[in-house]
């Protein structure tokens, strides 16, 4: 992708991306008008765009969807992964497809406008994806103005001034602000998200660093009672709840920055032998609590159909099996930094990066991918069952 290929606005263009290197990518705006600055990433999923836009892990990011036809599922109130969208905007190839789904309640473009999120269509998303793969995730401004007029110098200055995700504790910005309980299970046709609160259940306290709701639903389905607490809840306040186990959620930003307040709490839980399960950011924070390190990835892993192999000898009876997973992360655990008491249990078959750890001397483990996203579609649900079953 070169500056010359994108410097001229096509006829009728009402939106553009301004990259920090000066490149311009023109298109047709939809959703809200205005501009937003963040990191540009790409997602390879064919559907689930509403879930992606409302996943708190995408805070500070603008998502390029590699699948060209976005919108045919529409949007609805049941498929939010959080109270509101957290991705800043999205980039797509074709104009938004009219909805054609019995669960649809609103056109995706109208939904984007309602929630103040900017979209850009008419973009060669393959070229944009190659650019990210080759040069890394750029800092960009996405802008939409119905008259097609933009102050490009001002937008370029915004893109260049944005500090990036490294060093950002975004979990503190997207977490809930109070302790709540959760009792609904997974969605079922004709029933929706029905409550499941039968009998005695092990009590899991879930620390919300930017959690997806479907994680809580799967914990309930696996047989747990779930209490959700904000990201900066103290160790003492967690212990007062008398958890049988603690879940560390996914979330956005730099794990090292969030670790400043999260790691001491996790270390305190480990010292008390409280079982722990972490997903994505929670997995990274668990690794940091053991003394391992995390690193910023070149382009990150985001989307469906990511193959992950189970490699931890003795940790799972099906060592060597490959799971088809869903991922969303721009940071990763540095496998070389794992201490002797931590074993690597899963690895990416795309690039060999770490996708799972387990402590050898504690009932604590984490995975980098998202088992609740139903890839495969049930390849990874065993993780919820393993955690809840291990609580006794």
Write the CB contacts of 232 (distance below 8 Å, at least 6 apart in sequence): 172, 175, 261
User: Looking at residue 195, what is its pLDDT?
Assistant: 86
Q: How distant is the alpha carbon of residue 11 from its chain centre?
A: 36
Q: How distant is the alpha carbon of residue 20 from its chain centre?
A: 24
Report CA Rg, the chain: 21
Active site residues: 280, 370, 372
User: Looking at residue 347, what is its pLDDT?
Assistant: 97
Q: Any idea where the domains of the chain sit in the sequence?
A: 3-161, 171-389
* pLDDT block averages, 10 residues each, the chain of length 392: 55 96 97 98 95 98 97 96 97 96 97 98 97 96 97 97 97 96 90 83 98 96 96 98 98 98 98 98 98 96 94 81 95 98 97 97 97 88 95 81
The model's pTM is 0.96
Question: Could you give the CA distance from residue 184 to residue 266 in angstroms, rounded to a whole number?
Answer: 26
Residue 88: name the closest of 9, 14, 34 by CA. 34
Angle at 163 between CA 159 and CA 213, to 5 degrees: 95
CATH architecture of 171-389: 3-Layer(aba) Sandwich (3.40)
CATH architecture of 3-161: 3-Layer(bba) Sandwich (3.50)
């Amino acid at each position: 992708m070169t500056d010359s290929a994108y410097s001229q606005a096509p006829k009728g263009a009402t939106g553009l991306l301004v990259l920090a290197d000066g490149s311009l990518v023109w298109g047709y705006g939809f959703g809200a008008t205005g501009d937003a600055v963040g990191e540009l990433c790409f997602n390879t999923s064919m559907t689930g765009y509403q879930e992606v836009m409302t996943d708190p892990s995408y805070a500070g990011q603008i998502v390029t969807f590699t699948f060209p036809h976005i919108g045919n599922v529409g949007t609805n109130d049941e498929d939010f992964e959080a109270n509101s969208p957290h991705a800043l905007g999205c980039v797509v190839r074709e104009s938004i497809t009219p909805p054609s789904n019995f669960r649809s309640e609103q056109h995706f473009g109208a939904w984007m406008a309602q929630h103040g999120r900017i979209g850009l269509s008419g973009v060669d998303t393959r070229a944009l994806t190659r650019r990210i793969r080759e040069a890394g995730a750029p800092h960009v401004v996405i802008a939409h103005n119905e008259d097609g007029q933009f102050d490009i110098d001002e937008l370029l200055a915004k893109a260049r001034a944005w500090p990036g995700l490294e060093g950002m504790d975004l979990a503190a910005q997207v977490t809930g602000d109070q302790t709540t309980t959760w009792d609904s299970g997974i969605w079922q046709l004709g029933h929706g998200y029905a409550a499941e609160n039968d009998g005695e259940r092990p009590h899991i306290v879930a620390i919300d660093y930017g959690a997806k709701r479907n994680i809580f639903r799967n914990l309930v389905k696996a047989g747990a009672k779930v209490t959700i607490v904000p990201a900066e809840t103290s160790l003492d306040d967690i212990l007062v709840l008398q958890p049988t186990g603690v879940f560390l959620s996914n979330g956005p930003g730099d794990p090292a920055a969030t670790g400043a307040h999260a790691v001491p709490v996790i270390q305190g839980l480990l010292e008390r032998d409280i079982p722990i399960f972490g997903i994505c950011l929670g997995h990274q924070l668990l690794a940091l609590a053991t003394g391992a390190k995390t690193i910023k990835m070149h382009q990150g892993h985001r989307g469906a159909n990511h193959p992950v192999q189970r490699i931890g000898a003795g940790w799972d009876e099906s060592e060597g099996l490959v799971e088809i997973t869903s991922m969303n992360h721009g940071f990763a655990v540095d496998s070389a930094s794992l201490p002797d008491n931590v074993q690597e249990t899963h690895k990416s078959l795309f690039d060999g990066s770490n996708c799972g750890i387990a402590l050898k001397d504690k009932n604590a483990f984490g995975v980098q991918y998202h088992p609740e996203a139903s890839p495969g579609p049930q390849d990874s649900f065993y993780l919820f069952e393993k955690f809840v079953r291990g609580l006794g």
